[in-house]
């Protein structure tokens, strides 16, 4: 049932047609908000309009690199959400331009327009001292947002998963075609000494990079809380799922959920660096040197900031959600769909 209490409130969502954005738009529409989705490609984003009632959701052109378009997208809004982020650089869309300068541009425009609430999506691991440009510029963006709009609410999610994610779906697609699901590890394979001093081959190590995968629906719910609870102004939240998983754990989940029973084996981190050195030149690279540097630090909550519990949200574990969209990667999925269409 739509909550009509927000019917007179307008929120502008930068990046509202993206992975997190479409889930947030759907939730806010059900709460009665009027929603303005600000994107670079208006035509490609029109699919969000049916997520609400007639006229409830509009789509406008905006580019974080263009100050005038940002100001126009914000004009008249009561609240602003910035979800825009990139995983690799291309042309003018550099990490610094989008994560730092773009975030600051949105915050300054929101403040000048008299917006009451700004919610900014950063990332877990945002750190000025990071070796990864992604994490450094996320931290710079937070600083610019805080300087321009001190009461902004900052969200730092870990890796986000859900039906349209680029995380589990990518590995599940690999499971279709390869007999092995590799994970990168700094400590395996390696020769170690057992208690008796004899050399032992450790194939798995600690399982590679650590993550705290968080369900996209829970992230969207956190943003709704931030927009509607005035007591959260000025706070930073770390959003991590209920489990800390190694990359080996993730690959094992994928192998199980796709019913492919693939071997899950480690590759040394130097292999990741070598692959990234070549793959970074693809139009949509699956791995870049900067992403390898990101993997060298755990992507888990620090405990120094409030999280889901403080928002009254119980996050869903991955195993509760994965079966809802991993089934399409199972061996018999296409045959079952064909039989269904024939009415068998």
DSSP per residue over 21-75, as a string? HHHHHHHHHHTT-EEEEEES-HHHHGGGGGGSSTTTEEEEE--TT-HHHHHHHHT
Specify the fold of 4-157.
Answer: Rossmann fold (3.40.50)
Angle, in degrees to the nearest 10, between helices 103-112 and 67-74: 50
Measured in Å, how far apart are the chain's first and last C-alpha atoms? 37
Ranges of CATH 3.40.50.720 domains, the chain: 4-157
Output 196 or 66, whichever has higher pLDDT: 66
Number of separate helices (H) and strands (E) present in the chain: 14, 15
**Cα separation, 242 vs 192, whole angstroms:** 32
Structure tokens at 149: 């709009």
**Cα separation, 102 vs 96, whole angstroms:** 8
- CB-based contact 81:12 (threshold 8 Å): yes
What is the per-residue pLDDT for 339? Answer: 44
**Burial track 312-327 (b if 16+ CB lie within 10 A, e otherwise):** ebebbebeebbeebbe
Cα separations in angstroms, 52 against 14, 22, 85, 179, 220: 17, 11, 25, 43, 16
pLDDT digit string (tens) for 167-199? 999 999 999 999 999 999 988 877 777 777 777
pLDDT digit string (tens) for 282-331? 989 999 999 999 999 999 999 999 999 999 999 999 999 999 999 999 99
Greatest C-alpha distance within the chain = 73
Which residue in this structure is represented by tokens 């947030």?
A: 24
| Residue 202 pLDDT grade (very low, low, confident, very high; cuts 50, 70, 90) | confident
Distant-in-sequence, close-in-space partners of 162: CB < 8 Å, separation ≥ 6: 19, 23, 215, 216, 217, 321, 325
Cis peptide leading into residue 189 (ω within 30°): yes
Sequence-ordered alpha helix ranges (H) in 63-132: 67-74, 95, 103-112
Mean pLDDT across the chain: 92
Output 6 or 288, whichever has higher pLDDT: 288
């Amino acid at each position: 049932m739509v909550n009509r209490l927000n019917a007179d409130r307008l929120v502008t969502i930068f990046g509202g047609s993206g992975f997190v954005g479409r889930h947030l738009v759907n939730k806010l529409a059900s709460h009665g908000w009027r929603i303005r989705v600000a994107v670079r490609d208006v035509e490609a984003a029109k699919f969000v309009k049916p997520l609400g009632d007639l006229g409830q959701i509009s789509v406008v052109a905006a580019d974080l690199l263009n100050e005038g378009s940002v100001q126009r997208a914000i004009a008249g809004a009561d609240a602003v959400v910035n979800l825009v982020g990139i995983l690799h650089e291309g042309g003018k869309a550099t990490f610094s331009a989008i994560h730092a300068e773009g975030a600051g541009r949105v915050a300054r425009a929101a403040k000048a327009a008299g917006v009451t609430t700004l919610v900014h999506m950063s990332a877990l691991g945002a750190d000025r001292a990071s070796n990864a440009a992604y994490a450094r510029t996320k931290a710079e963006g937070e600083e610019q947002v805080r300087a321009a709009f001190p009461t902004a609410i900052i969200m730092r999610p870990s890796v986000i998963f859900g039906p349209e994610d680029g995380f589990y779906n990518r590995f599940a697609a690999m499971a279709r075609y390869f007999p092995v699901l590799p994970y990168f590890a700094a400590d395996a394979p390696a020769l170690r000494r057992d208690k008796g001093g004899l050399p032992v081959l450790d194939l798995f190590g600690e399982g590679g990079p650590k993550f705290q995968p968080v369900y996209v629906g829970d992230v969207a719910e956190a943003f709704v809380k931030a927009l509607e609870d005035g007591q959260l102004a000025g706070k930073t939240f770390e959003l991590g799922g209920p489990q800390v998983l190694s990359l080996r754990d993730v690959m094992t989940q994928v192998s199980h959920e796709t019913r492919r029973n693939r071997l899950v084996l480690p590759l040394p981190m130097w292999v990741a660096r070598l692959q990234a050195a070549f793959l970074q030149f693809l139009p949509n690279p699956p791995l870049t040197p900067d992403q390898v540097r990101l993997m060298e630090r755990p992507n888990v909550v620090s405990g120094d900031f409030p999280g889901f519990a403080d928002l009254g949200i119980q996050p869903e574990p991955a195993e509760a959600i994965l079966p809802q969209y991993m089934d399409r990667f199972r061996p018999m999925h296409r045959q079952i769909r064909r039989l269904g269409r024939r009415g068998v």
